[in-house]
């Protein structure tokens, strides 16, 4: 996981797979490997401390805590990182959050809550980021902002596992793409290869 990458899973991947990676659901078979370790059976906080960050689709912010307090929740104890994420650094990437530093999370707009969720996850200095439908319900301008942030995260050397319904966004970010149907990988390749594969797109990705 040393090199930054961005992988795309199609909408056909069951929603339970991402919580499974985070240890919220125990898989019935198989293994989940991260940095040479099988994480099956580990608690979510143990997986998190290995360097896995999770940005859930439903955001899961703490509505009664302020923006700053929400970000502080993301801190991990005793981490040794050369360039750790700080609240000030998060505010550089998300200026709107800085403007609302003392406001409660529940009073933010949907786009701002999405920024807060991503910022809170970055505060844990993850090596890989699981990002679940980050542009869901956002206005086009905020979609562009989220896409820009994901690109910056990649440039920081953080690998990203992205699940995204907006195919243009996803294919524009992904180094490798995977399409799954009924638990089977039916396609894997680059974004350009998926664009050119009309058979796969027509069968699995287009209505």
> Hey, where are the domains in the chain?
6-205
Cα separation, 192 vs 120, in Å, equals 32
pLDDT band at 16 (very low <50, low <70, confident <90, very high): very low
Which DSSP category does 188 fall into? E
Which tokens is 133 given? 């439908």
Note whether 8 and 170 are within 8 A (CB): yes
pLDDT band at 158 (very low <50, low <70, confident <90, very high): confident
Which tokens is 129 given? 């980021």
Overall average pLDDT of the 19-43 stretch:
86
| Claim: this prediction has a pTM higher than 0.85 | no
Rg (alpha carbons) of the chain, rounded to whole number: 17
Which DSSP category does 66 fall into? B
pLDDT score of 89: 92
Tell me the sheet residues that pair with 9: 163, 178
Note whether 163 and 132 are within 8 A (CB): yes
Average pLDDT of the residues of the chain: 83
Q: Does residue 175 come out as left (phi exceeding 0), alpha (psi in the -120 to 50 range) or beta?
A: alpha
Q: Specify the CATH superfamily of domain 6-205.
A: P-loop containing nucleotide triphosphate hydrolases (3.40.50.300)
Q: Is the pLDDT of residue 7 over 60?
A: no
% of the chain surpassing 70 pLDDT: 90
């Amino acid at each position: 996981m040393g090199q930054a990458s961005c992988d795309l899973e199609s909408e056909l991947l069951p929603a339970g797979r991402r919580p499974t990676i985070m240890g919220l659901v125990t898989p019935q078979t198989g293994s989940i490997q991260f940095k040479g370790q099988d994480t099956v059976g580990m608690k979510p906080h143990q997986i998190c401390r290995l360097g896995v960050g999770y940005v859930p689709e439903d955001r899961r912010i703490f509505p009664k805590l302020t923006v700053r307090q929400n970000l502080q929740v993301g801190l991990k104890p005793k981490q040794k990182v050369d360039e750790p994420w700080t609240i000030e650094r998060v505010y550089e990437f998300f200026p709107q959050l800085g403007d609302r530093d003392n406001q409660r999370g529940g009073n933010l707009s949907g786009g701002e809550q999405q920024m807060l969720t991503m910022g809170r996850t970055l505060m844990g200095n993850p090596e890989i980021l699981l990002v679940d439908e980050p542009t869901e319900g956002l206005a086009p301008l905020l979609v562009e902002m989220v896409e820009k942030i994901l690109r910056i995260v990649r440039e920081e050397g953080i690998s990203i596992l992205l699940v995204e319904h907006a195919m243009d966004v996803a294919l524009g970010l992904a180094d490798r793409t995977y399409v799954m149907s009924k638990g089977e990988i039916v396609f894997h390749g680059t974004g350009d290869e998926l664009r050119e594969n009309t058979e796969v797109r027509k069968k699995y990705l287009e209505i």
